[in-house]
Structure formats: C-alpha cells, structure tokens
Amino acid sequence: MGFSLLDSIVFISYALIIVGLGLWVSREKKGYQKNAEDYFLAGKSLPWWAIGASLIAANISAEQIIGMSGSGFAVGLAIASYEWMGAVTLIIVGKYFLPIFIKKELFTIPEFIEYRFNTTLKTILAVFWIALFVFVNLTTVMYLGARALDTIIGTGNGSLLIPSLIGLAFIAAAYSIYGGLSAVAWTDVLQVVLLIVGGTVTTLAALNHVTPDGGVINGMAHIYEVAGEKFTMILDRSNPEFNNLPGIGVLIGGLWVANLYYWGFNQYIIQRTLAAKSLQEAQRGIIFAGFLKLIMPLIVVIPGIIVYVLYVQPQGTTIIPGVADVFTNPDGSIVYDNAYPWLIRVFLTPGFKGLVVAALAAAIVSSLASMLNSIATIFTMDIYRQYFNKNATDKQTVNTGRITAAVALLIAIFMAPQLANVPQVFQYIQEYTGLVSPGILAVFIMGLFWKKTTTQGAIYGVLSSIVIALLLKNPVLDLPFLDQMLYTLLITIAIIAGVSLTTNPDDEDPKAIHTTSDMFKTGTAFNIGAYVILIIVAALYAVFW
C-alpha cells in the first residue's frame, strides 16, 4: 500500500508545524542581537521536561529506529541493552559529571579539556568530534532516514533516496540553522511526543497482524513462542551475533565505555543539560530521559523481532507473499535495516501511515538539528574564536555557527549514499565511534577524578588510544568490538597514569579538579527516580536473562 493523499497531508502538516514552531520560539526581539549563549545554549533557560524530551529526541533517530529494528531482526532483544543500560548511565552522568560541567559554565565539552589540560589537546579533540559528527553520525542519520522514506513512500529501489536526503536536510536546516539550540530543544518536545505515539502505533499494528486471528496479546504470545531465542538479553558464544553483543561483557564490559562516552561527553547530547536553568533542573531532566529510555525497546526493537517472525514463518499469517524478497540481496545476504520501513508500508492504514512517517521524520530531523547545532558550537567556540577571531562580535559568532552548520549538512548529503552496502548501520556507528570514544573517555575520567593526571599524559593517551583500538581490531585476535573498547580504555588509562607519574611523580597537577562531597548531593526527585530506574532495569534483566 503506497502513500495516500491523507498521508501526504499529515506529513506536510508535520513539516510546516515543526518549522513554524522552531522559527517562532527562536524569533529575535526587535533591536536585539543574539549572543553565543542565546544561540548555542538557548539562553540557559531550559526546564527539566524540555531537557529530558530533547535528550531523547537527539538520541533516538534513524540509527535507533531503523538500525536497532534491523538489529532486533538480526539479534533480538539483546540489542535493547543499549537502551536499558543507557538509562543507568544517565544516572551516573547526572550525579557525577553534570555538577562539574555546570559549575564550570561550559559551552562545549572541548572547553573543559582546555580548562583541565591545555589548548592543544582541546583542539585535537574538537577536530575529532567534528569529523565524527559529520562523517559518521550526521551521515548515517541522513542515509537511514532517506532510505526509510524511499522504502515507505517510494518503491524502495533508491529512486527517492536523493530527494529524501534533500527534504530531510531542508526541514532540519529551516529552523535549526537560524534558531540555534532554542529552536532545536523546544521543537524536540513536540517531536518526542510524536515519536512515542507513532512508534507505539507501529508496534501495536504489527502485533495485531502477526497471527491470523489478530489481537495484540495474541501477537505478543506468538512472537515469543516462535522466536523465544530472540528474547535473550545475554548471548552465548554459539550465537552468531556474539561478536556484536559479547555475553556478560555487555553488563560489565565495553558497553559502559560506549554509554559513558555517549551520554557524558558527547557534545550534541550533553549540550542540552548545559542549557538548563539550574543543576537541579538538568538532573531532573536526566531522570526523565532515563524513564523514556526504558520504553524505547518497545518502539525500536520489538518491531524487528516481529519482522523476523514473519520472515521465518510466513505461512498462516496475514503477511503478503514474497516477504523474503524484501529482505534478501541478490547475493543472498539479508538486508536487516529494511524491517521497520517495511512494517509501516504493509500494515498501517492511510492517515496512520502519514502519522508514523511524520514520527520517523521527527526523530531524524531532531537528531540532525542537534548534531548541526553541536558541530556549529564546537567549531565556532573552540576553533573559530580560538584561532581566527578571538574578538568576534555576537553577530560574527552566530553567523559563523550558521555557516558551519550549513557546510556540515552539505558534506553529509554528499557522503550519505556511500553507506548503501553496509548491512547493519547501527553496528557500523558503534564500531567506528569505538575507535575514538575509549581514549576520550579515559582522558575525561582521569582528568575529572585523578588529580595527578598531566597534560602530557592526556595527550599521549588520547593519541595512542586510536593506535591501540586499530591493533585490537586485528582479525587474528577475533575480539568483539565492545571488548576492544574495554581493553582500549584500560590500556589508555594505564598509559595516561604512567606518563603522568613520570612527568609529575609527586604533586598533583596544577589544573586538577577539586571536588567536595557537597558537589555530588542530589535532590529527592532525582534520588527516587534513580532508584526506580535501577529496580526496573534489574527486573528486566532478571526476566529476560
């Protein structure tokens, strides 16, 4: 079933509302020139509920909805560890990292590196992050989003890929480049509501069609009966996907590296919390985001398992003939990332299809807008104002941010089609992010919590970490990439410690961070929310072990 007129009306209405809202909330008062704090940190005015919604909107995008659904098809519920362990990670970030960042009144994460170490290391990491955001994150989000729209609205043969890329880029650029973080964060509130509603509609519709008798409860029971092995959280070595999710190592190993880096030191995520009215508002927003993370597998993983069931057992279901052809390449390999777009195309009625496609576009656009704003923030504050124009006016600073975002978007549009032959794009993102994230995480952990960490140790550590990560990727070692990340982190920490003790064996580093127990005290709402999240996560792993 194709895209109907009603679907088109719903989708176009979404685009107009989002762009209009973004431009309205970021409008400039007559005679007032936006400054860096207005453009990059929304004037430090965000309340907790906007922070939490914006965190999830920035996080859940095409690589989660399309990529994790594809991994749900290939791996099963085990891929939900990224979501559920992410909720636990948010508690750690809110309690131990945010108090330090907000006290230092940061604009960017590289700015902290300059404060703790020096400008050279800040610049190295700023370049790392810009390259990672443009060539991995921004590019993959655009590609997966465009491919999904091509599958849902078009024929799936790539004819709408380029127009979809341009359309998504235009919607994101229309309000985010002009309005900055204020436009991004406030539109995210609406977009995350649309995302949750649309994602839930897709899951319920698919469950209702997975058995001849219909019914959501029947559907859930059926997929658990047919694909019980897909509801295992901890994979054993016999599982063909063990290298992607290495058993108990998911709970005690490299997934912590990925999550702590992503939620604690990733500019386009942490930037929302830096824009909070206060530390307490930021921490409440973190907890709100943690609860939202708990329900994400219902939206992004269960649909992939449903498609797996329909793929392996199409007889006796309401599935249309030829399901295998949708997911099979000419060489016989499976295209897992077609799962979610195919569900939308087959099972949703007119109107609902437009709503869900709008929800998918909302997830894509909100992440694109977040990444563009963060790329612009890092380049403008850490490179342009550092090396090109230290005395830049407010107008020059804001305009540089807008130009930077536009250039990054053009590069991503050009690079996105190159991902056409990647089977699981979500895993691709994790692996290539894993080349730099362990070293960056090591530098931050040591810089934050070990007073003897020196600048020389941090520089040697972050540069050597990439070499170590590449060596550990050697096929001879046959290490799961999450294990590679853990070993890279531990070796990098050892290098940082060794160099630091050699260069400054006795005294603490002059730029060491001094913390007190009072800095890490949290409010009642944060504490209650944290305990509830921890109990729910423990129960989920106990049930689906």
Q: Give Cα 183 to chain centroid, integer Å.
A: 19
Q: Residues of 167-188 as b/e, b for ≥16 C-beta within 10 angstroms?
A: bbbebbbbbbbbbbbbbbbbbb
Give the Cα separation of 418 and 428 in Å (integer). 13
User: Of the segments 56-65, 109-118, 158-167, which one has the largest average pLDDT value?
Assistant: 109-118
Angle at 115 (CA atoms; ends 109, 119), nearest 5 degrees: 85
Quickly count: other Cβ atoms within 10 Å of residue 525's Cβ: 14
Of the two residues 492 and 430, the one the predictor is more confident about is 492
Give the Cα separation of 473 and 477 in Å (integer). 7
What tens digit of pLDDT does each residue of 217-268 get? 888 888 888 878 888 888 888 877 787 778 787 888 888 988 998 898 888 7
What is the reported pLDDT for 11? 83
Q: Residues of 73-83 as b/e, b for ≥16 C-beta within 10 angstroms?
A: bbbbbbbbbbb
Average pLDDT over residues 488-514: 87
Average pLDDT value for the chain: 83
User: Of the segments 169-178, 340-349, 465-474, which one has the largest average pLDDT value?
Assistant: 465-474
Helix axes 425-433, 139-153, angle to 10 degrees: 180
Give the sign of the dihedral formed by CA 509, CA 514, CA 515, CA 516. positive
What tens digit of pLDDT does each residue of 391-442 get? 888 788 888 988 998 999 899 888 888 776 665 555 666 666 777 889 889 9
Give the Cα separation of 183 and 272 in Å (integer). 12
What is the reported pLDDT for 318? 42
pLDDT interval class at 534 (50, 70, 90): very high
Tokens at 306, concatenated: 């449903």
Angle at 396 (CA atoms; ends 394, 398), nearest 5 degrees: 70
What is the reported pLDDT for 319? 46
What tens digit of pLDDT does each residue of 357-367 get? 888 787 788 88
Give the Cα separation of 98 and 103 in Å (integer). 8
Q: Is 21 left (phi over 0), alpha (psi -120 to 50) or beta?
A: alpha
From the number of C-beta atoms within 10 Å of its C-beta (0-12, 13-18, 19+), residue 543 rates as: exposed
| Residue 215: HSE in the Cβ half-sphere, 13 Å Cα cutoff | 6
Which residue is it, tokens 């520089």?
Answer: 459
Given a cut of 50, whether residue 128 has pLDDT beyond it is: yes
Please answer whether residues 173 and 373 qualify as being in contact, where contact means their C-beta atoms are separated by less than 8 angstroms: no
Which of 108-112, 247-251, 286-290, 417-421 is least confident?
A: 417-421
From the number of C-beta atoms within 10 Å of its C-beta (0-12, 13-18, 19+), residue 230 rates as: buried
Give the Cα separation of 302 and 77 in Å (integer). 7
Give the Cα separation of 508 and 500 in Å (integer). 10
How is residue 383 annotated by DSSP?
A: I
H or E segment and range at residue 290? helix 279-300
Of 169, 179, 167, 149, residue with least CA distance to 20: 179
User: Residue 293: phi, psi to the nearest 5?
Assistant: -60, -35
Give the Cα separation of 398 and 32 in Å (integer). 13
| Residue 102: HSE in the Cβ half-sphere, 13 Å Cα cutoff | 23
Give the Cα separation of 117 and 114 in Å (integer). 5
Average pLDDT over residues 173-198: 82
Given a cut of 50, whether residue 317 has pLDDT beyond it is: no
